[in-house]
Amino acid sequence: MDTFIQLTLTGLTNGAILALAALGFVLIYKASDVINFAQGEFLLIGAYLMYATIVQIGLPWTLGVLVTMVVAVLLGILIERFVLRPLIGEPIISVIMATIGLSSLLQAVVRIIWGSQPKAFPAFIPSTPVTIFGATVGADRLWAIGIAALLMLFFSLFFRFSKEGIAMRAVADDQQAAMSMGISVKKVFAWAWSIAAVTAAIAGAIVANIVGVGPHLSHFGLRVFPVVILGGLDSIPGAIVGGVIIGLLEAYVGGYIGGGLNQVISFVVLVLILMIRPYGLFGREIIERV
C-alpha cells in the first residue's frame, strides 16, 4: 500500500508538470492550428532562467519566479511576432518545420549561455519528507502538485470569464467570425504563445527544483505528445487529464514492472490511441492529419 501511494504521488507530480507543458501546446494548436515542437525548450528555458536568477544573480526565489515569468511572456510574444506571423498563410508543414528549427535554436542558445553540463540546484522549495497515509514523499512534490492545480484553476477561470479568454475561444472556433466580433486575431495568437511559454517555464522551474537543470530537460517536449494525443490535441481539460494519466502510468509501470518500460509505455499508449481513437479522449472528432 505504501508503495502504491508513493508511486501515485510521484506520478501525480510528473503528471502535473506534463499537464502544464501540454496546456500551452494545446492552446497554440487550438488558436492557430500550429504544432509547437519547441514546447520542451520553453520548459528548458524556464528552468535555466530560474538557475540564472537564483544561483547566478542571487535573487530570492520569489523574485526569480517573477523574472522567469516575465521573460517567458516576452519570449512568447517575440516568437509569435518574428517567427510565426511572417508564416501566416504558408502551408502548415512550413510552420511546423519552423517550430522544429526554433527548438534547435533555443537549445543551442541555452548551451551557449549555460554549457551542456547538468547543474545542481539549491532547492528553493524544501524537500523535507512528509508522511501521507504511511508513504513518505518530499514536500517539493506536493508543492508541485499544488502549484500546477492552482494554475489549472486559474486558466480554467481565465478561459471562462475573462475578455481575453473569450476572445481566444472565439478565435479557436472561427477566425473570420472572431474578427467580425472586434477580436484582433494577431493579439490572440500573441496571447496563446505567451501563455504557452509562461506555463512551460513554470513547469520548468518546478522540474528544476526537483531534479536540477540540464539540457536533457527539453525531453519533456517529446513526452508532451502522448499527453496531448491521449487528451485530444485541442482540449484543455484533455491536457490536464492526459497529463495525470500518463504521469501515473509511467510511475506505476516503473514501480511495479520496471526494466525501463516506464520510459516507453507512454509512447505505446500514443500508438494505441492513434489506432483506436485518433482524436483523443476529449478532442473534436474531426482532426486534420498532417
Partner 1 sequence: MPLQPRGFRHALNRSTLRPGERQLEVQNLHLAFGKVAALAGVSFTVYQSEILAIIGPNGAGKTSLLNSISGLYKPQRGSIRFYNDGETYELTRLKPHQIAKLGVARSFQNIELFRHMTVLGNLMAGAHVHMKTGLLPSLFYWGPAEREQIHFREFVEDIIDLLEIEAIRYKQVGTLSYGLQKRVELGRALAMKPAILLLDEPMAGMNTEEKEDMARFILDVNEEHGVTIVLIEHDMGVVMDISDRIVVLSFGRKIAEGTPEEIRDNPEVRRAYLGE
Site residues for partner 1 per CB under 8 A? 154, 157-158, 161-164, 166-167, 169-170, 173-174, 176-185, 284
**Sign, Cα dihedral of 250, 202, 75, 26:** positive
- Cβ-based nearer residue to partner 1, 54 or 197: 197
Per DSSP, the residues of 57-81 read I---HHHHHHHHHHHHHHHHHHHII
Cβ 263 to partner 1 shortest distance, Å: 36
Containing 136, the helix (H) or strand (E) segment is strand 135-138
Contacts of 94 (CB under 8 A, 6+ apart): 87
- Cβ-based nearer residue to partner 1, 195 or 229: 195
CB 280 within 8 A of CB 229: yes
Cβ 185 to partner 1 shortest distance, Å: 7
Strand 129-132 to 135-138 pairing: antiparallel
- Cβ-based nearer residue to partner 1, 33 or 164: 164
Cβ 231 to partner 1 shortest distance, Å: 16
- Cβ-based nearer residue to partner 1, 54 or 167: 167
Cβ 285 to partner 1 shortest distance, Å: 11
Cβ 181 to partner 1 shortest distance, Å: 6
Q: Which of 82, 81, 48, 83 is nearest to 67 (CA)?
A: 48
- Cβ-based nearer residue to partner 1, 88 or 157: 157
Cβ 174 to partner 1 shortest distance, Å: 5
- Cβ-based nearer residue to partner 1, 4 or 154: 154
Containing 137, the helix (H) or strand (E) segment is strand 135-138
- Cβ-based nearer residue to partner 1, 14 or 235: 235
Contacts of 163 (CB under 8 A, 6+ apart): none
Measured CA to CA, the distance from residue 46 to residue 205 in angstroms comes to 6
Cβ 236 to partner 1 shortest distance, Å: 12
For residue 282, which phi and psi values (nearest 5 degrees)?
-120, 5
